[in-house]
Copies of this chain bind each other. A is one copy, B any other.
Amino acid sequence: MSDELVARMDRLESRHHIEALVSNYCHGFDKRDYERFLSIWWDDCVWKIGPPFGDFAGHDGIHEAIHEVLWPAWAQSQHVTSNLVVEFTGPDTANGLCDVDCMGLLTGSTEATFVGATYKDSYARRDGIWRISERDVTIHYFNQFGGTTLSAPEG
Which A residues fall within an 8 A CB radius of B?
1-2, 5-6, 8-9, 12-13, 15-16, 20, 22-24, 26-27, 30-31, 50-52, 76, 78-85, 97-99, 101, 103, 112, 114, 116, 118, 139-155
Contact between chains at A99 and B80 (CB < 8 Å)? yes
Question: CB < 8 Å: which of B20, B81, B139 contacts A153?
Answer: B139
A84 proximity list for chain B (CB < 8 A): 23
Of the A-B pairs whose beta carbons lie under 8 Å apart in the complex, a sample of 12, sorted by A's number, is A8-B13, A24-B85, A30-B99, A31-B118, A51-B155, A52-B154, A78-B116, A80-B83, A80-B101, A140-B152, A141-B152, A147-B147
Contact between chains at A153 and B142 (CB < 8 Å)? yes
Give the complex CA separation of A97 and B30 in angstroms. Answer: 13
Contact between chains at A85 and B141 (CB < 8 Å)? no
